[in-house]
């Protein structure tokens, strides 16, 4: 399968490298508004630099990887759908649910495969946890707890155009919540503060947040987010059910521990998403390729992108108004 990639930045370099390293796939064309970013990735992967129109028009390009900034995703998905390409698009589809709906209508009409990059579903630890939940390890699910804390806050300039913590950061956890709960949330209650960086508060965003999700049968999910964790990228899940509890902890830089009279000392947890989710990025790409080759709809789908966005919008609204927000079915 021959790929074209748009956006050769942080995440584009990961996906582009993974396509190039796999057997059976080729990263053929790379486009980026920054010529140096495009030529660096092309040189590293054996691809050719091209513009977006050339990628869309290329008859021998079967799939497009969209790794450009968020505000370009919906337009690029529509262009690729019009050209009949399979699309893997980074999260989020867009910051507006209305725009996502319009985009998904065009995808539906064009009948192209579309997968959204909710990589955490593919993390081997989280995937194993989900597998055991599916096998009944904890019985009926009652409370899901998701902890997600970044090592450092992003610059306030990034925050200003990010859509806010709930749409930019918690969107991953909201997708994971739907994945784990096995039922759609019917209500969202959110609180948030600016405790880490006053500049984030001045930019109108929060850097510390907690969300409660409720499902129709009464299952509860609690999500804890922070833009700071002094010990690395804190990524944990715990699921409590009628038969017991299942959890997946952090991944440390090494498994080395030093013990002394004051206790045990372990290495920090892996620093951030590029390290922590390296396997997940490879495995989500494998899943996309397998689905396209088998003629099946990839998962997570565009609809999953929309559902997570609706929850992120509701969380933003709840945080701003101090109200519990009901979610339409």
Ligand X SMILES: NC(=O)c1ccc[n+]([C@@H]2O[C@H](COP(=O)([O-])OP(=O)(O)OC[C@H]3O[C@@H](n4cnc5c(N)ncnc54)[C@H](O)[C@@H]3O)[C@@H](O)[C@H]2O)c1
Cα distance between residue 15 and residue 277, in whole Å:
12
CB of 54 vs ligand X, minimal distance in Å: 12
Binding track over 114-153 against ligand X, x by CB under 6 A: ---x-x----------------------------------
Nearer to ligand X, 37 or 325 (CB): 37
Cα distance between residue 251 and residue 249, in whole Å:
7
User: Cis peptide leading into 239, omega within 30 of 0?
Assistant: no
Look at the block and give the residue holding tokens 């064009």. 110
Applying CB under 6 A, which of residues 3, 122, 233, 273 lies at the interface with ligand X? 273
Which region among 33-41, 77-85, 183-191, 318-326 touches ligand X (by CB under 6 A)?
33-41
Using Cβ positions, the residue closest to ligand X within the complex turns out to be: 9
Question: How many Cβ atoms are within 10 Å of 135's Cβ, its own excluded?
Answer: 8
Nearer to ligand X, 77 or 203 (CB): 77
Which region among 66-74, 183-191, 209-217, 294-302 touches ligand X (by CB under 6 A)?
66-74
| 34 binds ligand X per the rule CB under 6 A | yes
Cα distance between residue 115 and residue 66, in whole Å:
10
CB of 96 vs ligand X, minimal distance in Å: 14
The count of chain residues that interact with ligand X, using the rule CB under 6 A, is 22
Q: Which residues pair with 4 in a beta bridge?
A: 29, 64
Binding track over 74-113 against ligand X, x by CB under 6 A: ----------------xx----------------------
DSSP-derived pairing of the beta strands 325-326 and 185-193? antiparallel
Contact indicator for 138, 240 with CB cutoff of 8 Å: yes
Write out the DSSP string of 81-130. Answer: HHTT-EEEEPSPS-S-HHHHHHHHHHHHHHT--EEE--GGGG-HHHHHHH
| 284 binds ligand X per the rule CB under 6 A | no
CB of 204 vs ligand X, minimal distance in Å: 19
Applying CB under 6 A, which of residues 19, 20, 27, 31 lies at the interface with ligand X? 31
Nearest to 203 by CA among 227, 173, 223: 227
Contact indicator for 137, 244 with CB cutoff of 8 Å: yes
CB of 162 vs ligand X, minimal distance in Å: 8
| 68 binds ligand X per the rule CB under 6 A | yes
Which region among 29-37, 186-194, 292-300, 310-318 touches ligand X (by CB under 6 A)?
29-37
Take residue 224 and report the two structure tokens written for it.
């804890």
Which region among 27-35, 150-158, 190-198, 287-295 touches ligand X (by CB under 6 A)?
27-35
Look at phi and psi of residue 270 and say left if phi exceeds 0, alpha if psi is from -120 to 50, else beta. Answer: beta
Which region among 30-38, 187-195, 230-238, 315-323 touches ligand X (by CB under 6 A)?
30-38
Cα distance between residue 147 and residue 329, in whole Å:
26
| 37 binds ligand X per the rule CB under 6 A | yes
Which region among 63-71, 132-140, 288-296, 306-314 touches ligand X (by CB under 6 A)?
63-71
| 176 binds ligand X per the rule CB under 6 A | no
Contact indicator for 6, 65 with CB cutoff of 8 Å: yes
Contact indicator for 177, 144 with CB cutoff of 8 Å: yes
| 163 binds ligand X per the rule CB under 6 A | no
Instruction: Using CB under 6 A, list all residues that contact ligand X.
Output: 6-12, 31-34, 37, 67-70, 72, 90-91, 117, 119, 273
């Amino acid at each position: 399968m021959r790929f074209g990639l748009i956006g050769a930045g942080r995440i584009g370099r990961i996906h582009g490298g993974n396509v190039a390293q796999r057997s059976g796939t080729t990263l053929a064309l790379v486009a980026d508004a920054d010529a140096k970013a495009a030529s660096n990735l092309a040189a590293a992967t054996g691809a050719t630099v091209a513009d977006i129109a050339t990628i869309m028009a290329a008859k021998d390009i079967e799939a497009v990887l969209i790794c450009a900034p968020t505000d370009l995703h919906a337009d690029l998905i529509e262009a690729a759908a019009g050209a009949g390409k399979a699309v893997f698009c980074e999260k989020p589809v867009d910051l507006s649910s209305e725009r996502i709906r319009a985009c998904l209508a065009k995808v539906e009409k064009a009948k192209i495969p579309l997968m959204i990059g909710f990589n955490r579903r593919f993390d081997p630890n989280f995937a194993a946890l989900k597998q055991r939940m599916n096998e009944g390890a904890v019985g009926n699910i009652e409370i899901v707890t998701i902890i997600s804390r970044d090592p450092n806050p992003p610059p306030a300039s990034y925050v200003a155009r990010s859509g806010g913590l709930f749409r930019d950061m918690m969107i991953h956890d909201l997708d994971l919540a739907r994945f784990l709960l096995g039922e759609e949330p019917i209500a969202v209650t959110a609180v948030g503060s600016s405790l880490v960086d006053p500049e984030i508060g001045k930019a109108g965003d929060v850097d510390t947040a907690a969300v409660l999700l409720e499902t129709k049968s009464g299952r509860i999910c609690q999500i804890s987010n922070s833009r700071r964790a002094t010990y690395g990228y804190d990524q944990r899940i715990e699921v409590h059910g009628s038969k017991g509890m299942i959890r997946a902890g952090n991944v440390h830089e090494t498994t080395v521990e030093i013990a002394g009279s004051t206790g045990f000392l372990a290495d920090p947890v892996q620093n951030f998403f590029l390290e922590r989710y390296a396997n997940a990025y490879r495995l989500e790409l494998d899943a996309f390729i397998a689905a396209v080759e088998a003629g099946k709809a990839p998962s997570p789908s565009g609809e999953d992108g929309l559902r997570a966005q609706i929850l992120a919008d509701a969380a933003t609204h709840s945080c701003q108004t101090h109200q519990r927000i009901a979610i339409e079915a």
